[in-house]
Amino acid sequence: MKPIVEMKNIVKIYDNGVVANNGVNFTVNKGEIHALVGENGAGKSTLMKILYGIEQPTEGEIVIDGKSVSFKSSMDAIDHKIGMVHQNFMLVPSFTVAANVVLGNEPIKNGFIDKDQVLNVTKELSDQFGLFVQPDAIVDSVNVGQRQRVEILKTLYRKAEILILDEPTAVLTPQETQDLFKAIRTLVHQGKTVIFITHKLREVKEISDRVTVMRHGKMIGTVDTKDVTREQMANMMVGREVFLNISKPTMKRAEKRMEIQNISFISETGRPVLRDVSFNLYAGEILGIAGVEGNGQTELVEVLTGLKRSAGGQAVVKGKNVLDRTPREVRQKGVSHIPEDRLTNGVALKESIEENLIVDRYFSKPYKKGMMLDYRLIENKGKDLIRQFGILTPNGKLPVESLSGGNMQKVIVARELSSNPYVLIASQPTRGIDVGATEFIREELVRLRTEGCAVLLVSADLSEVMSLSDRIVTLYEGKITGVFPDAAKVSEDELGLFMLGIKHQTNEEMEKFL
Amino acid sequence: MSLETVIRSILSTLFLASVIRISTPIIFPAMGGLIATVTGVPNMALEGIMNVGAFTGVMVSAYTGNVWLAILAGIIAGVLMALLLGLFHIYFKTNLFIGGLAINLMASGGTVFLLYILTGDKGNSSTVKSLSVPNWDIPVIKDIPFLGEVISGHPVFTYLAFLSVFLVYIFLYRTRFGTHLRAVGENPEAATTLGINVKTSRMIALAISGVFAALGGMNLSMAYLQFFQKEMAAGRGWIGIAAVHLGARKPLGVLLASLLFGFADAVSNQLGSLNIPSQLVQTIPYVTTVVALAVYAIQQRQAALERMKRYQKEHWEALAAHKAE
Amino acid sequence: MKSFFESKGFRELLRIVLAVSIGLALGFIITLFVSEDPVGAYKSFLLGPLSRLNRIGDWLEESLTLILLGLVICIVFGASQWYIGVEGQMVLGAMAAGCVALYVPLPPFPRILLAFLAAMVVGALWGLIPALLKAYYNANELVTSLMMNSVALKVFEYILKTFIMTPKSRSISSEFIDKPFRLPTFIPDWPFLQTIRELWEKQTSVTIMVYIVIAAVIVVYYLLFKTPFGYELRTVGLNTKFAHYGGINVKRTIIMSILVSGIVAGLAGAHLTLAIHNKIISNMTSGLGFEGINIAILAGNNPLGVPIAGLLYGYLRAGSDVMERSSDVSRELVFVIQAMVLLLVTAERLLPTIQKRVAEFKESNDSNNGSKPDLNKVKEGDSHVA
Distance between CA C154 and CA C164 in Å, rounded? 14
Rounded mean pLDDT, A196-203: 81
- For range C54-83, the mean pLDDT: 92
Residue C2 has pLDDT above 60, yes or no: no
Report the interhelical angle of B251-271 vs B236-246 (nearest 10°): 130
Structure letter (DSSP) for residue B325: -
Task: Report the CATH number that the domain containing residue A333 is assigned in CATH.
Answer: 3.40.50.300
Is the same domain home to A301 and A362? yes
Collapsed DSSP state (helix, strand, coil) of residue C261: helix
Average pLDDT of the segment spanning C57-70: 92
Residue C131 is part of which domain span?
A: 55-314
Q: Residue C347: which of B94, B116, B245 has the nearest Cβ?
A: B94
Residue B261's beta-bridge partner residues? none
Over the stretch B206-254, which tens digit does the pLDDT of each residue have? 999 999 999 999 999 988 788 898 888 988 998 898 889 878 889 999 9
C168–chain A Cβ distance below 8 A for any pair? no
- A287 domain-assigned: yes
Domain CATH code at residue B274: 1.10.3470
CA distance linking residue B275 with residue B269, whole number of Å: 12
Strand partners, B36: none
Q: Which residues contact C94 (CB under 8 A, 6 or more apart)?
A: C119, C156, C269, C270, C272, C273, C280, C284, C285
For residues A233 and A278, state if they share a domain. no
Q: What are phi and psi of B143, to 5 degrees?
A: -95, -10
Please name which of A446, A496, A398 lies closest in space to residue A244, comparing C-alpha atoms: A446
> How many separate domains does chain B show?
1
CB contact under 8 A, A17 and C222: no
Q: Write down the pLDDT at residue A282.
A: 93
**pLDDT score at C371:** 45
Asked whether A382 and A373 are in contact (CB, 8 A), the reply is no
Q: Is residue A424 part of a domain?
A: yes
Q: What is the 3-state secondary structure (H, E, C) of A98-133?
A: HHHHHCCCCCEECCEECHHHHHHHHHHHHHHHCCCC
Q: Are residues A371 and A468 in the same domain?
A: yes
Higher pLDDT, C190 or C28: C28
Interface test with A, best of B170, B199, B306, B311 (most A CBs within 10 A): B311
Domain-located, residue A248 = no
Which domain covers residue A373, as residue numbers? 256-511
ipTM, two decimals, is 0.84
Chains with ≥3 CB–CB distances under 8 Å to C: A, B
DSSP string, B222-240: IIIS-S-BTTTTTTHHHHH
Mean pLDDT for C23-43 is 89
Domain count, chain A: 2
pLDDT at C39 over 90: no
CA distances from A301 to A412, A425, A426 (A): 16, 7, 8
CA distance A202 to A182: 16
Each residue's pLDDT tens digit, C321-365:
889 888 888 889 999 999 999 998 888 767 677 777 777 777 776
Give the Cβ contact number of residue A67 at 10 Å: 8
Pairwise pLDDT comparison (C186 vs A240), residue with the higher score: C186
Domain ends where: A212, A238, A264?
A238
User: For C237, which residue in chain A has the nearest alpha carbon?
Assistant: A348
Domain that holds residue B252: 3-282
Count CB pairs under 8 A between chains A and B.
Answer: 78
Distance CA A26, CA A218 (A): 10
In a domain, A452, yes or no: yes
Q: Which residues of C touch B241 (CB under 8 A)?
A: 143
pLDDT at C254 over 70: yes
Question: Quick one: average pLDDT of B74-88?
Answer: 96
pLDDT band of A237, cuts 50, 70, 90:
low
- CB of A445 within 8 Å of a chain B CB? The answer is no
- Residue C222's CATH number: 1.10.3470
**What average pLDDT does range A336-342 have in this prediction?**
93
Contacts of A25 (CB under 8 A, 6+ apart): A7, A8, A9, A10, A219
In this structure, is residue C112 part of a structural domain?
A: yes
Contact B290 C147 (CB under 8 A): yes
Nearest residue to A7 (alpha-carbon basis) of A156, A222, A184: A222
The reply to whether residue B308 touches residue A311, judged by beta carbons under 8 angstroms, is: yes
Last residue of one domain, picked from the residues A188, A212, A238: A238
Q: Is the peptide bond before C352 cis (omega within 30 degrees of 0)?
A: no
**CB proximity list for C159: less than 8 A, separation 6 or greater:** C95
Lowest average pLDDT, out of A224-238, B17-31, C70-84, goes to A224-238
Yes or no, beta carbons of A75 and B195 under 8 Å apart: yes
Kindly report, residue by residue over C151-169, the tens digit of the pLDDT: 999 899 888 888 877 777 7
Give the model's confidence band at C369: pLDDT under 50 very low, under 70 low, under 90 confident, else very high. very low
Q: What is the mean pLDDT of residues C279-293?
A: 86
Q: Collapsing DSSP states into helix, strand and coil, what is residue C267? A: helix
CB A237 within 8 A of CB A215: yes
pLDDT of residue C379: 35
Task: Specify the pLDDT at position B1.
Answer: 55
Q: Is residue C29 part of a domain?
A: no
Question: Where are the alpha helices (H) located in C52-107, listed in sequence order?
Answer: 53-78, 86-103
Distance from CA of B15 to the nearest CA of C (A): 23
Residue predicted with more confidence, A174 or C280: C280
Starting at the edge strand found earlier in the chain, the sheet holding A3-13 runs A19-29, A3-13, A59-64, A67-69
Q: Do C349 and B110 touch (CB under 8 A)?
A: no
The answer to whether residues A230 and A260 belong to one domain is no
Q: Which of C77, C242, C356, C377 to mutate to test the interface with A (most CBs of A within 10 A)?
A: C242
- Report the first-to-last Cα separation within chain A, whole angstroms: 53
Interval B26-77: pLDDT, tens: 999 999 999 999 999 999 999 999 999 999 999 999 888 888 999 999 999 9
- Tally the domains of chain C: 1
Answer yes or no: do A41 and C373 touch at CB < 8 A: no
Q: How confident is the model at residue C5 (pLDDT cuts 50, 70, 90)?
A: low
Which range is most confident: B5-19, B146-160, C143-157, C158-172?
Answer: C143-157
Its sign, for the CA torsion A370, A373, A376, A381, is: positive
Share of residues in chain A with pLDDT > 90 (%): 55
Higher per-residue pLDDT: B117 or A17: B117
**What integer best gives the mean pLDDT of chain C?**
85
Task: Give B105's contacts in chain C (Cβ within 8 Å).
Answer: 290, 294, 335-336, 338-339, 342
CB contact under 8 A, C245 and A371: no
Q: Is 60 exceeded by the pLDDT of residue C3?
A: no
Residues A194 and A271 in one domain: no
- Look at residue C32 and tell me whether its pLDDT is greater than 50: yes
**C370 phi, psi to nearest 5 deg:** 65, 35
Question: pLDDT class for C135, splitting at 50, 70, 90?
Answer: very high
Residue C71 domain flag: yes
Asked if the structure places residue B108 within a domain, the reply is: yes
- Inside any domain, residue B244: yes
Is C352 inside a domain boundary? no
Q: Which of A238, A264, A296 is the last residue of a domain?
A: A238
| pLDDT above 60: residue A198 | yes
